[in-house]
Every structure is written in C-alpha cells, then in structure tokens.
Chains A and B, each alone.
Chain A
Amino acid sequence: AQSVAQPEDQVNVAEGNPLTVKCTYSVSGNPYLFWYVQYPNRGLQFLLKYITGDNLVKGSYGFEAEFNKSQTSFHLKKPSALVSDSALYFCAVPDDYKLSFGAGTTVTVRA
C-alpha cells in the first residue's frame, strides 16, 4: 500500500521566517503526492501536487514543495511565513483512487 508519514506533530515559527513541513513517502512506481491545508473548522484546501517533471512544485498562497527521490521526501516550504498560515497541514498519496493521508502537522506562526 502507498503511504506517507509526517514526522512532526507541530511546527512553530516566527512570522517572516522560513517554514518547512516535512513529509516522507513509501510508494511503488512513480509517486503522485499532494499537500492540503485545513484551517480550524474548515474543509481541506488543495495546495499543490507532484506528478512528474520538475522537482520543485509551486502552489497556492506562496507555498512550494520539493520532491526528493533519493530521500523519498516531499517537504512543503514557504520562504516567509505569515500568521495566517497557522493551520493543520496534510501530506497525501493516492492509494488506488483513495487518498492516504499523513497524520497532519499543526503549524503555528507567532507574530
């Protein structure tokens, strides 16, 4: 089965500092990888996905993710975090047609 892992439950950064949310994957074949964000009491919003090609994927709200095949990682990054980026972030991988999610990482950006 395809799976992803998010090794950090929480990430805390100061506003204006770089933000990184980690994700590692275990898949057979070529991976498709997704990042979603969930704001409090809201649904999941799609941020970006990796299909194939460029290892640096750009997404919504200034986020990007770097695909690293040798490290089997797909870390989410933002060069300068905002307080409004505080949310729950999920990495996901398709397992057949259903998404298999990581446990989620809570990001807190302090002013």
Chain B
Amino acid sequence: NAGVMQNPRHLVRRRGQEARLRCSPMKGHSHVYWYRQLPEEGLKFMVYLQKENIIDESGMPKERFSAEFPKEGPSILRIQQVVRGDSAAYFCASSPGSAGEDTQYFGPGTRLTVL
C-alpha cells in the first residue's frame, strides 16, 4: 500500500513566481491536510480538505495561498507570487476519517526555496 505521495520533493522559485505543490493521499483516504514547517519552527496546520470541499482553511494565509482537492487527481496547494518568507517545508497528510483517534499519515514533503 503506497503511502502519501508528494511532488515535487524540492522546488525552487524566484520571487513573484507561482508554486504548485501536489499531494496524493493514501489509498482509501478521503481526508487531506496541509501543514507548513518553517525553519526553526514547528509544524503548523494550514488547511483541511475532503473531495471537492475545503473544510477548514483557518491556518492558511488569506492572500496568495489556495488549496483544492478535486474529484479526480491529487490535492494541490498553490502559492501565487511567492516571497522569500514562503520558503519552508510543506507536508501533506491523509487519514481515513476525521475523528480524533484517526491517524494522519504524512508524505515526504515539498521543500520550497524562494530565491
């Protein structure tokens, strides 16, 4: 059973460009979460999605960031007009349900570097 897959693993963008991060959840999981790990900081929740629905985006910056999880295909985290402060590791997780006891399984992450 393949785990959570993320691509690309490393992404370099210049200021002002767009970054598009992809996440394929584990087979059978319909709940997807995105977290960000800034240098010297812990992991922070960004957004929670189910198929075709954004359930909670309270952790996502209001400007420039968006996320989707379409009926077909991977979940996408999109960052427009990137700035140096967006440099971080972005992790996707998936779970079979959203109950507290459901384990979230994490992908390997995408490390975004903004030049």
Contacts and interface: CB of A to CB of B under 8 A. Distances in A.
Interface of A: 32, 34, 36, 41-46, 49, 51, 90, 94, 96-104
B42 to A, nearest CB: 5
Nearest to B105: A46
Contacts of B104: 46, 99
Contact of B100 (A44, A46, A94, A101): A94
Nearest to A32: B100
Interface of B: 4, 6, 31, 33, 35, 42-43, 45, 48, 55-56, 59, 91, 93, 98-101, 103-109, 111
A104 B42 contact: yes
A41 B37 CA distance: 12
A25 B17 CA distance: 41
Nearest to A29: B100
A103 B38 CA distance: 12
A44 B92 CA distance: 10
Given A43-B6, A99-B45, 16 more contacts: A34-B103, A42-B109, A43-B107, A44-B43, A45-B106, A46-B103, A51-B101, A97-B99, A98-B33, A98-B45, A99-B33, A99-B35, A99-B43, A99-B93, A99-B104, A100-B45
